[in-house]
Amino acid sequence: MFSLQNKTAIITGGGSGIGRAIAQLFGKQGATVHILELNEEAASEVVDAIRALGGKAQAHVCSISEQEAVHAVFNKIGTVDILVNNAGIAHIGKADTTTEMDFDRVFQVNVKGTYNCIHAAVKQMLINGGGVILNMSSIAAVVGIADRFAYSMSKGAVLAMTLSVARDYVKNNIRCNCISPARVHTPFVDGFLAKNYPGNEAEMFAKLSASQPVGRMGTPQEVAALALYLCSQEAGFVTGCDYPIDGGFIRLNN
């Protein structure tokens, strides 16, 4: 079950965190993995890890906010069976404290970057007879999260794009879904705590962990397992859906 043999998968932001876990799991399950990443060193490390286990992988340095660059990479790769739009950036701020520059920066990566990759992938998938697109949204798309104005905006757009793509290409054998994680323990979280709460990292980590009813953050591997299911043939009847993976955050917090 959940084999990706003979599938070509493109994963954006696959050099660290959730993207890295997805790339490694997809490689283990037989996919030829292509990582789109700004950090060449991080991407190369993941490629080496996949190859060390007998898998096939390649890294591509690319800014997903630049459509011409994205199309160049997709054209180079050729056949695309699976696209995982994982790359994204965060921002802390309310509407009145978010600068235009920061708003545009979040939009360019999280919204336009997702669009650019969908734009390129759909063209390939229509030629090839179908495929799977999986977008990384967030619980911030459906519930109010304090001080996450621009980030919430961008993830709401990702959710809306997911539904639109699923509707538009359902007759073309292209499935599109998204995953909405709550807090997941990645290197980003550790860096965020070190930068904003020096000396109080452990206390803040415990506080953030407790915001999920299960009492902890998720792991990248747990998100990757859900991604594998949604991109596999076993999920062939699933499209146009958002999958929260949130430790009960949305439904159980009062």
Residues 127 and 204 in one domain: no
Residue 48: other Cβ atoms inside 10 A = 11
Give 254's pLDDT tier (boundaries 50, 70, 90).
low
Residues 52 and 138 in one domain: yes
Residues 71 and 90 in one domain: yes
Q: What is the mean pLDDT of the chain?
A: 96
Q: What is the CATH number of the domain that holds 68?
A: 3.40.50.720
Residue 126 tokens, joined: 């229509």
Is 254 inside a domain boundary? no
Residues 57 and 118 in one domain: yes
**Domain membership of residue 36 as a residue range:** 8-182+220-245
> In whole angstroms, what is the distance from residue 244 CA to residue 101 CA?
30
- Mean pLDDT, to the nearest integer, of 54-64? 98
Residue 243: active-site member: no
Is 1 inside a domain boundary? no
pTM for this model (two decimals): 0.96
Is 250 inside a domain boundary? no
Residues 141 and 207 in one domain: no
**Catalytic entry in 115, 151, 169, 243:** 151
Is 111 inside a domain boundary? yes
| Total domains in the fold of the chain | 2
Residues 74 and 168 in one domain: yes
Is 107 inside a domain boundary? yes
Is 252 inside a domain boundary? no
Residues 173 and 101 in one domain: yes
- Mean pLDDT, to the nearest integer, of 72-92? 96
Residues 165 and 196 in one domain: no
Residues 212 and 154 in one domain: no
| Strand-pair category, 242-245 with 82-85 | unpaired
Residues 171 and 198 in one domain: no
- Mean pLDDT, to the nearest integer, of 185-194? 89
**How does pLDDT run across 24-41, given as a tens digit for each residue?**
999 999 999 999 999 999
Q: What was the pLDDT predicted at 137?
A: 98
Is 103 inside a domain boundary? yes
Residues 133 and 56 in one domain: yes
**How does pLDDT run across 207-218, given as a tens digit for each residue?**
999 999 999 999
**How does pLDDT run across 108-164, given as a tens digit for each residue?**
999 999 999 999 999 999 999 999 999 999 999 999 999 999 999 999 999 999 999
Residues 97 and 81 in one domain: yes
Q: What was the pLDDT predicted at 192?
A: 82
Minimal CA–CA distance to 28: which of 17, 16, 36, 20?
20
Is 204 inside a domain boundary? yes
Q: What was the pLDDT predicted at 221?
A: 98
